[in-house]
Amino acid sequence: MGRMANAPFSASARTPRDTRLDTLRGLMLAEITLVHVGCPLGTFTNEMFGRVSVAAGFVFLSGLVAGAVYSRTAERGAGPIFRRCLRRGLYIHVYHLAAFVALVAALLTQPRFAEYFHFAMLPTVAGALRPLMYFAVWAYQPIDFDVLPMYALFVLAMPAALLALRADRGLLMLCVSLGLWACAQWGLGSRTPGPTTFGFFRGEFNPLAWQFVFFSGLYFGYRHLHQQCPIVRPQPLLIALCILLCMLGLTMRWQVVPWPAAFARGGLLASKADYGATYLVNFLAFAYLTYCLARVAPRAFQWRFLAFLGRHSIQVFSFQLVLVYLARPLYWRAAAHGALAFDALGLAVVAMLFLPAFCHASWQSWRTGLSAVGPRAYRSRG
């Protein structure tokens, strides 16, 4: 246990599952939910540490874990990794589609939800068909619904990146990814988000910019976890530099000192949609500090209840989308009773995230037991 506590993040088959990674993902799922609810606590925790988006942390960790786990499949060649990534992409899309269908069903059952959902549809079966078809091909994304399809896009592009890593062309892969991010800063892939617009991947995030967050995580996961070859280590000078960068990010986020317009939220260098330079630099600095802290104080990143959420991230994220929308009629009522009441509602929504995690864990246990017992039972009957 002591050896594991001081080891780098680990997620490969050769070592036990690292609770720290699952804890961080669970924490981010809880924070994303609070941000989506929009309660005062969620507003405060949103980018609380500067230009550090919790969505970016979720995307980075997804790439990190994928780089460790899917690399084993890439060792068997192009065919297996393409098939596995295609299955994973479809798996993500099924949950994404199921969440939207559940909300459409609620809207058709209770048309009064239309004033809270703001979907681009009429609360009738005929009015829902066109948006459903557009949604199924990622051409329509309501508010808060664009993270999972973006994640699925990255997963579908992952085989090429993993094969490049296997061919010792990881730096080339990173340069291509960084080049796409740079092009996104000049408008490539930018979309005007809106709940009533249609077009391929119209949403809050520009995937051509955000892909660098995912694939940098993938590179780190492949090299640091899969190959067990640390590419970063705690260095005093680097730690000091990252602390300075994070402090600058804090002054931008909380407007402690006046910054030029380019550094203001949504400015040329601080566009969250295109993940501008201030977001990227601040996030990488914060991620490095988090990594160093997790090595020095691993117990601070081991919370079983949060790790439980993190182990079922797709199910939890999909469920929170449904829950956040269904709870919208309660928001103004809670806010009318004060900030504490609104925060209490937000925390209650977070607490309900354990329901899909528990259901999925139970289903996994049942399926594992069935696969283990089934063949023996069949042979005994035979």
pLDDT tens per residue, range 154-165: 999 999 999 999
Q: How many CA atoms, within 13 angstroms, populate the side-chain half-sphere of residue 132?
A: 18
pLDDT bin (cut points 50, 70, 90) of residue 349 is very high
Chain mean position to CA 251: 25
Hey, where are the domains in the chain?
A: 2-381
Q: For residue 372, what pLDDT band results from cuts at 50, 70 and 90?
A: low
Where residue 196 falls among pLDDT bands split at 50, 70, 90?
A: very low
Pair 120, 195: CB distance under 8 Å: yes
- Which pLDDT score is estimated for 10? 46
Q: Does residue 59 contact residue 213 with C-beta atoms inside 8 Å? A: yes
Q: 116-128, pLDDT tens digit by residue? A: 999 988 888 998 9
For residue 197, the model assigns a pLDDT of 53
Enumerate residues 6+ apart whose C-beta is below 8 A from 37.
Answer: 324, 327, 331, 345, 346, 349
Matching residue, tokens 């977070």: 350
- The 10s digit of each residue's pLDDT in 229-277 is 888 889 999 999 999 999 999 999 998 989 999 998 888 899 999 999 9
What are the pLDDT digits (tens) for 300-339?
999 999 999 999 999 999 999 999 999 999 999 999 999 9
Pinpoint the alpha helices (H) of the chain: 2-5, 19-37, 40-45, 54-69, 71-74, 78-109, 114-117, 125-136, 147-166, 170-185, 207-220, 236-253, 277-296, 304-310, 313-326, 328-336, 339-351, 354-381
CA distance 96 to 203: 14
At residue 338, φ and ψ (nearest 5 deg) are 110, 170
Name the residue type at position 175: C
pLDDT digits (tens, 9 = 90+) for 6-40: 445 544 444 457 899 999 999 999 999 999 999 99
pLDDT at 122: 87
